Amino acid sequence: MPGGWQGFAYFRLHGSPIIYRSDYSRERIAGQVAAAVAASSAEHPAWVIYDNTASSAATGNALTFVRLLDGSKTV
Residue 45 lies in a domain: yes
DSSP codes of every residue in 9-53: EEEEE--SSSTTTPPPPHHHIIIIIIHHHHHHHTTS-EEEEE--T
Please give the residue range of the domain that contains residue 51: 9-70
CA dist., res. 75 & res. 71, Å (int) = 9
Q: How confident is the model at residue 38 (pLDDT cuts 50, 70, 90)?
A: confident
pLDDT > 90: percent of the chain: 43
Residue 37 lies in a domain: yes
Lowest mean pLDDT among 5-9, 52-56, 63-67: 5-9
**pLDDT at 1 exceeding the cut of 80:** no
Residue 1 lies in a domain: no
**pLDDT at 53 exceeding the cut of 70:** yes
Residues in contact with 72: Cβ distance below 8 Å, sequence separation at least 6, in sequence order: none
Q: Is the dihedral of CA 36, 11, 62, 19 positive or negative?
A: negative
What is the pLDDT of the chain when averaged over all its residues?
A: 85
